[in-house]
A and B are shown apart, each in its own frame.
Chain A
Amino acid sequence: MKKFIFPLALLTLLAGCSGNGTWGWYVIDPTTKSGWTNIQFLISGMWSTILISVIAAAISIVLGLVVALPGQSAKRGWRIVNRIYVEFIRSIPLLPMLFWVFYGLPIIFKSMGLDIPIDPFWGAIITLAISDSAFTAEIYRSGIQSIAKGQKEAAQTIGLNYAQTMRYVILPQAIRCILPPLANQFIYIVKMSAFASVIGMQELTRRANELVVTEYRPLELYSFLILEYLILVLIISAGVRWLERKMGSDERM
C-alpha cells in the first residue's frame, strides 16, 4: 500500500497541472520571466532560515551544557535549578515565547535603563536557542548518565575536580551518545524557525507568505515551501546518519 502513496500523490499533482483551474504552476514556472523571479524570491529566504538555525543551534549547544551540568551536581539545590529550567522552558510553546521575547523583553530592558533593541533576526535566534536548550540539556544528561559511575570515581581518586572530570573524562566519552541526537535537534530548530516569519523575519516561510498575498496562489507556493523544507531537512538527515555511522564505527574505545 505504502509504495503507491507517493506515485498517487504525484499523479494528483500532475493531473492538476493539466489545467482544470485547481493548479496554477505558472506562478513558479522557471521558463517564464515572472515565474523565475518568483522562484528566486522564494529561495532567497533559505539563507536566513539556515543562518538563524545554525546560530540558534550553536547557542543552544553551549546553553544546554550550562543547564545540564548543575543537573549532575551532588548538591540538591543545583539539581533543582536544572529541573526548574528544563521543565519550565519545555512547557512554553514556541510562538508565545517568541512574542514574549520580541515584544516583551525590550520593555524589560528599557525599564532597566538598557537600550537593547531586539530585531526579528536576534529575537528569533534567542527564542529558538532558549527553547531548544531545554532539550539539548536533556540530551547531555542522558549522555553523561550513560557513562558508568566508576569513571567519575576513578577521575576523583586521581585528584580531578568536577570541571576537569567532565572535560577530560565524562564528556569525551558521552559525546558519541550526544552528537547524533544533538544533530537531530537541529532539524527541530530548522522547522521551528518558520515561526520567525510572524515577527517579520525574511526567511523561507515569510517569503512564501508575501508572495501568496500578491499572487493569490497559496496551493502552489506553499507546496513549493514544503518542498524547500523537505530538501533542507533531508540533507541534514543524511548528515546525521553519516555522523551516526562515523560515531558507531569508531572502535578505538
Chain B
Amino acid sequence: MTTTAIELVDVNKWFGDFHVLKDINLTVQTGEKVVICGPSGSGKSTVVRCVNRLEEHQKGTIRLDGRELTNDPRSIASIQGEVGMVFQQFNLFPHLSVLDNLTLGPTKARGLTRTEAETRAREYLERVRIPDQADKMPGQLSGGQQQRVAIARSLCMEPKVLLFDEPTSALDPEMISEVLDVMVELAQDGMTMVVVTHEMGFARKVADKMVFMDEGEIVEQSPPEQFFANPETERCRKFLSQILQH
C-alpha cells in the first residue's frame, strides 16, 4: 500500500499583485520521485519553497503525511527538519567545518549527543563519497563537493522528504555528474524526492512523474516515458526541444 507524502490541493500564491502559483495540484507518494521542470520564472522554486514553509501560500491546502500545513509556528517548526532541502547555492555555513555543518541540526534541533551526531555525520559523508573532508571548511571544497556536503547535511536530519531546487545549476559541468550520481543512489534507496532540475538524463533515469510548469501553472503531469515521447501540450513540446538541444 502506498501512502501520500505530500499533497497540494488548489494551491495559490501571490507576491503582492503577482499571481505566482495558480491552482497547483500535485500528489507525491512515499518513495516517489517527482521531477519539476519549466522555463525560468514559472514558479518551480516557489512550489518547493511552499512545501517546506520557506514561503507561505495564501489559498488551497498543503498536506504532509496527512497533516495540513498552517502558519502556526509550531506546525512550521515540526515540518522543518522533516522536509530536507538542497539549494542551488549550497548554502553551507561557511564559518563551520564540514562536520559541524552536519551535526548542527541533529544536536540543536533533534537533541542528539555530539558523539551520536558525529557518527551519523560520518556515515552520510561516506554515502556522498567524501568521508575524508570532514574537517575542512566549506570554502576549501569544490562546488561538487560542497553540494554533496549539503545533501549529507539534509540527510543527517533523516527527513521524510528531500526537496532539491536546481542542485546542479551552479556547478561547473565536470562536477554535475558527481552530484547526480549521489542523487540517483538516494533515489534507488527509496527516498521520497521532489527535484527541480533541467537535467533530463537524470529525470529519465529516476523520475516516477514529470511535472512541467509554465507561468505559475502545472501544464502537464505524466510518467516520464509519455512525457518525453509525446508531450500533450505545445508549450511543453517547445520547452523540451529547447533544453534537449543542448
Contact = CB atoms under 8 A, between A and B. Distances in A.
B139 interface: yes
Interface stretch (B24-32, B85-93, B238-246): B85-93
Interface residues on B, range: 20 to 34
A148 B154 CA distance: 19
Interface in A144-178: 148, 150-151, 153-161, 164, 168-169, 172-173
Contact of B83 (A151, A157, A252, A253): A157
A173 B95 contact: yes
A153 B90 CA distance: 11
Contacts of A158: 80-81, 84, 104-105, 109, 153-154, 156-157
A159 B157 contact: yes
A168 B94 contact: no
B94 A173 contact: yes
Contact of A168 (B83, B104, B137, B153): B104
State the majority secondary structure of interface residues on A. Answer: helix
B246 to A, nearest CB: 27
Contacts of B110: 159
Q: Which of A148, A151, A159, A160 has the largest count of B CB atoms less than 10 A from its CB?
A: A159
A44 B5 CA distance: 73
B77 interface: yes
B108 interface: yes
A151 B77 CA distance: 17
The 5 A-B pairs of least Cβ separation, nearest first, read A159-B81, A158-B105, A159-B109, A154-B91, A150-B91
Given A154-B85, A158-B105, A252-B95, 8 more contacts: A155-B93, A157-B80, A158-B109, A158-B157, A164-B109, A169-B93, A173-B93, A253-B95
11 contacts: A154-B153, A156-B80, A157-B154, A158-B84, A159-B81, A164-B109, A169-B93, A173-B93, A252-B139, A253-B95, A253-B139
